[in-house]
Amino acid sequence: MIYQKTKMFTLMGLFVALSAVGALIKVPSPTGTVALDSAPGFIAALVLGPGPGAVVAALGHLLTSLFSGFPMTLPLHLMVALEMAAFAALYGYMGRRNLAAGVVTVSVLNGIIAPATFIPLPNYGIPFFTAMVVPLLVASAANVMASALVYKAIEGIARGQVSDSK
């Protein structure tokens, strides 16, 4: 039992470290917080489960925000981290059943719905949504697609379907 918990926390730590690396790979955006940080969280959601994936995705966003100086304030970045956690958990549930549906759903949620949550907030509104929707769609699709490809490769290795080509 202790071994399993230690293994889980170790793997989560590795995925968070990968998120930190992804946080340094930015997609140009008005906030500077759109990056390739969530792919490890999405992979973790598929491989380790929705809960661990949610934690990794939330921490990944917070790392990106930290590296960018929390440009939208800490409370708003905490809100985004909670959104990322929810999206990763949903992806973990959906992706194991229907990976393509999970990819599409989470790309739309993260790329369109997430910035739409800022529309009612003062100082954000429609201009913020308009400025963020394209960078977020691009980054979201890249993160989710990368996670799906890695997951399929891991799945193939686990089944022994990957051959050693020379």
Q: Which CATH number is 10's domain given? A: 1.10.1760.20
Residue 166 inside a domain? The answer is no
Classified as helix, coil or strand, 139 is helix
Model pLDDT for residues 60-116, shown as the tens digit of each residue: 999 999 999 999 999 999 999 999 999 999 999 999 999 999 999 999 999 999 999
Report yes or no on 132 lying in a domain: yes
pTM of the shown model: 0.91
Cβ neighbours of residue 51 under 8 Å, at least 6 residues apart?
Answer: 89, 92
Helix axes 125-158, 74-97, angle to 10 degrees: 40
Cα–Cα nearest to 88, from 158, 20, 140? 140
Domain count, the chain: 1
Residue numbers of the domain that contains 56: 2-158
Is 118 domain-assigned?
A: yes
Q: Does the structure show a pLDDT above 60 at 57? A: yes
Q: Where do we find the tokens 């340094």?
A: 24
Question: Residue 161: its pLDDT value, please?
Answer: 67
Greater confidence, 81 or 154?
81
The reply to whether 165 falls in a domain is no
Tokens matching residue 97: 């059943």
Question: What is the band of 165 on the pLDDT scale with cuts at 50, 70, 90?
Answer: low
Rg (CA), the chain: 16
- pLDDT on residue 37: 96
Q: What ranges in the chain are assigned the alpha helix state H?
A: 2-23, 39-47, 50-68, 74-97, 99-108, 114-116, 125-158
Looking at residue 44, its pLDDT comes to: 98
Residue 54 domain flag = yes
Residue 156's pLDDT band, with cuts at 50, 70 and 90, is confident
